[in-house]
Amino acid sequence: MNDSRDRFGRWIDCLLDPSRSPGDQRQAAQEWCEWGLDLLGVDENELATRPDAFSADCRLPIGKAISPLGAARCVREYRRTAVFLQAMDAALRCARKRFPGERIHVLEAGCGPLAPLALPFALRYPPDEVIFSLLDLHPIAIEGTRRMARELGVRESVRGYLAADATTIQFSEPDRPHVIACEVLLRALKSEPQVAATRNLAPQLRRGGIFLPERIDVDAGLFDQAKWTRALTSPMKEGEEGLSPIQELGRVFGLDASAVNELQPRGAGRFAATAVNVPPHDPERTPLHLFTRIRVFGDHRLGDFDSSLNLPERVKYPAALAVKGGLVEFYYEVSADPGLRLVGLTASGSNR
């Protein structure tokens, strides 16, 4: 086994093993990212002063495609990377049971230059059992994945390198994937095109196929940051739920990959979201936030504070809401800057 394969295999073993310590997993993810950037000849310090195509985001009419550098750095979010890898591992096992005797076709859409949800499994399965398509909007990211696949000796496992848009690409019947992993995501489903990509790709799975993440929920709540900071230093004991830093107010929006066609249009480029009742509150101490909860596959989930994708997102709203409380309505907008928008509010006691 070559040195790269050997080291790569150890990082992946570590991240796939839920019993490994956060410290070990953080180190594995760091080393993986550094190794990848080294292999591509990328010097992060130099890019900070002299940006180039590798460090440039791309703005699209449906959201931002973060730069190849930004995408590679995502691997360092070790908890996110570990949970996605464990979910992919489980999804592949499940797909092999669901499609006995078939060669499983996996698409990583928005793979960045390291293709972290595909190449680890190219190393673990022979190409006659599992084959991968790697897709990214940035051609330079796709060039990166070619280099990675060569270094790892898994070129035969890659069926296609696709410099294409995940929100518009169409697969012919024989090319439909059995498994699609697509993480083009930011907290509260903002800025990046996860909704548009899921709507385009999930219906193109083979019947019975698997899409990761399976479900993303955005919930509203009043968030007490001071209480949360205190809970970090002295964790809650059983029966102390009342001390939770989040007062849950309900689901605002859900993106279920198996039911994307059920999103209700609300005018051009808009989807309906659910209104939530917000009680009167102190806007300084417990402002309204959105919480992003992700079921990647089965029991593999990313919850509050697990990664940057799950950080609370503060909502901007009129001061009157905090004083009187009321019903807050949202919609989800698919645009160059996608995300949830507050459409209006009905103050408590008013009859709008």
Ligand X SMILES: C[S@@+](CC[C@H](N)C(=O)[O-])C[C@H]1O[C@@H](n2cnc3c(N)ncnc32)[C@H](O)[C@@H]1O
Which is closer to ligand X, CB of 113 or CB of 221? 113
Confirm or reject binding of residue 138 to ligand X (CB under 6 A). yes
Nearer to ligand X, 35 or 330 (CB): 35
Q: How far is CA 51 from the centre of its chain?
A: 25
How far is 272 from 266, CA to CA, in rounded Å? Answer: 5
- Tell the smallest beta-carbon distance from residue 304 to ligand X (Å): 19
Q: Confirm or reject binding of residue 167 to ligand X (CB under 6 A).
A: yes
Nearer to ligand X, 117 or 222 (CB): 117
CA distance to 126, 190, 192, 201, 217, per residue, from 264 (Å):
42, 18, 20, 18, 16
Shortest distance in whole angstroms from residue 133 CB to ligand X: 12
> Given the complex with ligand X, which of 84 and 253 has the nearer CB atom?
84
C-alpha–C-alpha distance, residues 239 and 224, integer Å: 19
Q: Which is nearer to ligand X, 113 or 245 (CB)?
A: 113
Among 29, 78, 88, 112, binds ligand X (CB under 6 A): 112
Question: Which residue of the chain is nearest ligand X when measured via CB?
Answer: 110
Contact string 36-75 vs ligand X (x = CB under 6 A): ------------------------x----xx----x--xx
Q: Is 88 in the site for ligand X (CB under 6 A)?
A: no
* Residue 292 in contact with ligand X, rule: CB under 6 A: no
Pairwise CA distance, residues 53 & 343, whole Å: 37
Name the residue nearer to ligand X (CB basis): 334 or 345: 334
Nearest to 86 by CA among 10, 185, 18, 183: 18
Nearest residue (CB) to ligand X, 166 versus 220 = 166
Least distance CB 66 / ligand X (angstroms): 5
DSSP string, 144-202: HHHHHHHHHT-GGGEEEEEES-TTT----GGG--SEEEE----GGG-SS-HHHHHHHHG
Number of residues that bind ligand X (CB under 6 A): 25
Pair 54, 114: CB distance under 8 Å? no
Q: How far is the CB of 75 from ligand X (least distance, A)?
A: 5
Token readout for 70 is: 């930004």
Closer residue to ligand X in complex, CB, 12/117 = 117
Please report whether residue 87 would count as binding ligand X according to CB under 6 A: no
Q: Which of 116, 209, 221, 338 binds ligand X (CB under 6 A)?
A: 116
Among 91, 184, 252, 328, binds ligand X (CB under 6 A): 184
Q: Does the protein bind ligand X through residue 136 (CB under 6 A)?
A: yes
Task: Say which residues have a Cβ less than 8 Å from residue 45's Cβ, sequence separation at least 6.
Answer: none
Instruction: Please report whether residue 338 would count as binding ligand X according to CB under 6 A.
Output: no
Residue 122 to residue 131: CA distance in whole angstroms: 7
Q: Which helix (H) or strand (E) holds 87?
A: helix 78-98
What's the alpha-carbon Rg for the chain, to the nearest Å? 21
How many angstroms separate the Cα of 142 from the Cα of each of 101, 103, 135, 190, 245? 30, 23, 7, 24, 42
Contact residues toward ligand X (CB under 6 A) are 60, 65-66, 71, 74-75, 84, 108, 110-112, 116-117, 135-138, 141, 165-167, 183-184, 193, 197
